[in-house]
Structure 1
Amino acid sequence: MNKKLVNAQAKHFNASDIDNMVQRVRANFINSLSGFKSGNLIGTRSASKKDGTKGVDNLAVVSSVFHIGAHPPLLGMIMRPHTVPRDTLQNIKDTGEYTINHICASMVEKAHQTSARYDFEESEFEKIGLTPQMTDQVKAPYVLESHIKLGMQVQDIQLLAINQTELVIGQIVEVIVEPQWVSDDGYVDIEAAGSVAISSLDSYHSTQRIARYGYAKANEKLHTIPVKKT
């Protein structure tokens, strides 16, 4: 197909076009534009009650996790405005701990079901059929069925005035991953582990690696890094 013809047929959306979209259409449209995002289940536990009753385990699908720094190991996560009850965010604020669990292909349907609005006293683990896993490092539950799991401790929570979303910054204090997915240079092969990506609000994708490249230097030929078979 002629390249000029393709460009000529492309639709241009201006700010007014976007602003006038139906709310759900606009949400799907804008969420698609940021590309593929990591698919994660965030595990939390509500604070224990004064009578000693254990808190309720909560699970929520989130696609807004991103890298902040490696030393200390920090990840950010954007949470939607707290204008309605947000059990995950409230639990994180109350306890200071949470887990990030990669979604793998075998659990996509159950993971997406966590976006339903269950009552605060109901555990998504029980409702959708995933298994909580506890360790001594964090008091929040992991997802046993996940292949890559991160234990997190809150370092900062910032309210973003522009749209009232909240930025949660956490430090990684524990990583649970099978050794065959970790290369000698520290590279974690999330594709081999079966981690999936999310686009827009509701589309799940498996991945296929094109290549892994070495550190790029000016005036030097780029070289590929072989990835070990698992």
Structure 2
Amino acid sequence: MTYFNIDEIHNLNHLYKINLINSCAGFKSANLIATKSTENNTNVAIFSSVIHLGSAPPLLGFILRPTSVPRNTYENIMETGYYTINHVHEKIIKDAHHTSAKYDCSISEFDVTNLETIYKNNFFVPFVKDCPIQIAMKFVEEYDIKSNNTKLVIGEIQELYIQDELLKDDGFIDLSEGKIATINGLNGYAIPTLKERFEYQKPIK
């Protein structure tokens, strides 16, 4: 196996290092977070850090990179308190990835890609049209991570839309049936396939 110690990691070429460290944690979720400013300017950006934090209340979090430079997603959430999380699927991978480009807040990524907005149930922020899972979120709190100046942003699910065939009788959502993407590192995308589900495990007596 190839081996790196911490000193070697610190001294790696910058691009090699970020590829290495972003890949070593494993496959990550691929989500488009959509926001809208108080001036009604929409924004959508790809995130690979959305995580489940709890079911009662239903909380999701995501990691935001340092806000020492403009972060339209964060600024809009702080202004309005609302955002949507939309799962990236196979047909929109290229456009979804392009939302990582740094556009001015006056330019909506919806206008420079083939991604489309759709509004539902009078929610202030748009969803991304045709995404198999669309989640309306309300900002709850944030935590500063001092070690690298990132933020953990936490929100509560307000509304949840799921493509019918993905939702099973026990509440399980089969992401593979929706051709939902996952991210390998910074710019690698895969479409996982569900292999097997297991029963709740108890200690062997």
TM-score, normalising length: structure 2: 0.97
Distance 1:213 1:106 in 2: 30
Say whether the 8 Å CA contact 1:39–1:103 is kept in structure 2. Answer: yes
Q: Aligned-pair RMSD on alpha carbons?
A: 1.1
Q: Are residues 1:72 and 2:57 paired?
A: yes
Aligned residues: 205
Q: 2:183 aligns with which of 191, 198, 208?
A: 198
User: How many angstroms apart in 1 are the aligned matches of 2:195 and 2:84?
Assistant: 30
Provide, for residues 92-135 of structure 1, a one-character-per-residue CA deviation record: whole Å limited to 9, x for no partner: 11111110000000000000010111121011001112110112
Q: Which residue of 2 aligns with 1:29?
A: 20
Equivalent position SS for 1:81:
coil
- SS of corresponding position for 2:194: coil
Equivalent of 2:158 in 173, 181, 185: 173
Corresponding residue for 1:142? 127
Distance 1:129 1:34 in 2: 31
Q: Which has the higher contact order (CA 8 A, sep 6+)?
A: 2
> Does residue 124 in structure 1 map to residue 115 in structure 2?
no
Q: Which structure carries more strand by proportion?
A: 2
Task: Show structure 2 runs of 5+ residues with no match.
Answer: none
Equivalent in 46, 53, 64 of residue 61 of structure 1? 46
Equivalent residues of 1:99, 1:142 under 8 A apart: yes
State, as a whole percentage, how many aligned pairs show the same letter: 38
Normalised to the residue count of structure 1, the TM-score between the two structures is 0.86
AA at the equivalent of 1:34: A
- Corresponding residue of 1:40: 31
Greater Cα shift, 130-139 or 202-211 = 130-139
The alignment partner of 2:51 has SS state of strand
Q: Could you tell me how far apart the structure 1 residues matched to 2:125 and 2:5 are?
A: 44
- 2:8 corresponding residue in structure 1: 17
Structure 1: gaps (5+ residues): 1-9, 49-54, 221-230
Aligned counterparts, 1:149-188, within 5 A: 149-188=134-173
Distance 1:137 1:194 in 2: 28
| 1:12-67 deviations in Å (ceiling 9; x for gaps) | 1000010001222111110101100110000000122xxxxxx2110100000001
Q: In the aligned structure 1, how far is the partner of 2:123 from the partner of 2:8?
A: 46
Which has the greater radius of gyration?
1
